[in-house]
């Protein structure tokens, strides 16, 4: 359990298949801008196989945490962080971070990024992930893993081999 900058408490735990409905609702509640920043070409809704995949990581090559507020169970999932190997490039990891629009800037993204840095799949040489040019918050969070280097307009790399 961690305390955010506004004093509210948030519990961080591993995601589970039983989170499917709550995750679908959390996705519905996200702004379009956040969906695009996270998913690139976001689906209209999160259902079926893609949803099942997101709530059933193997815990080894695909690790994911959710954040939920402790005082208000109705608030449901307010943050998700995941990290996983690329199936076609097993030395590289991708990361996905999402924090509910109304509690951004309170430190939850950093907490999730720090948890992923500790529990990331190992071994792996690099983190390679899409971060838009103007997404400064996401770029700052990658410093939990090392020094982010921009490879292309969208792609950022962090060397994990050191
Ligand atoms: C990126 C995201 C996860 C950050 O979550 P958050 O809870 O707001 O992050 P934090 O409050 O921990 O802030 C992280 C850092 O970004 C900075 N930051 C936060 N909002 C910012 C903004 N709008 N502009 C610039 N910097 C910002 C914070 O100061 C902090 O930096 P510091 O720790 O070095 O001081 C959240 O904005 C989000 O869900 N965005 C949409 C999805 C997305 O872009 N995901 C990343 C790509 S996978």
HEC states along 89-110?
Answer: EEEEEEEEEEECHHHCCCCHHH
Ligand 1 site, residue 107, Cβ cutoff 6 A: yes
User: How does DSSP classify residue 84?
Assistant: E
* Other beta carbons less than 10 A from residue 99's beta carbon: 25
Nearest to 34 by CA among 80, 84, 99: 99
At 73 the pLDDT is 67
At 85 the pLDDT is 98
Residues in CB range of 140: below 8 A, 6 or more apart? none
Phi, psi angle pair for 150, to nearest 5°: -80, 125
- How do residues 27-79 score in pLDDT, each as one tens digit? 999 999 999 999 999 999 999 999 999 999 999 999 999 999 987 767 799 99
Ligand 1 site, residue 158, Cβ cutoff 6 A: no
126 — pLDDT class (breaks 50, 70, 90):
very high
Ligand 1 centre distance from Cα of residue 99 (Å): 8
- How do residues 127-142 score in pLDDT, each as one tens digit? 999 999 999 999 999 9
At 74 the pLDDT is 72
Is the full-model pTM beyond 0.85?
A: yes
Residues in CB range of 96: below 8 A, 6 or more apart? 38, 80, 81, 82, 83, 129
Q: Give the nearest ligand 1 atom to 137 CA.
A: 16
């Amino acid at each position: 359990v961690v305390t955010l900058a506004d004093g509210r408490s948030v519990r961080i735990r591993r995601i589970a298949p039983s989170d499917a409905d709550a995750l679908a609702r959390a996705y519905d509640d996200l702004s379009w801008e956040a969906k695009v920043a996270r998913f690139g070409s976001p689906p209209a809704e999160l259902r079926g196989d893609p949803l099942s995949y997101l709530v059933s990581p193997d815990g080894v090559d695909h690790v994911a945490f959710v954040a939920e507020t402790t005082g208000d169970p109705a608030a449901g999932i307010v943050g998700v962080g995941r990290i996983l190997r690329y199936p076609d490039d097993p030395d590289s990891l991708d990361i996905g971070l999402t924090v509910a629009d109304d509690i951004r800037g309170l430190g939850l993204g950093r907490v999730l990024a720090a948890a992923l840095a500790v529990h990331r799949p190992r071994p792996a040489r690099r983190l390679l992930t899409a971060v838009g040019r103007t997404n400064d918050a996401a770029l700052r969070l990658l410093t939990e893993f090392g020094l982010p280097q921009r490879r292309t307009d969208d792609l950022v790399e962090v060397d994990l081999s050191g």
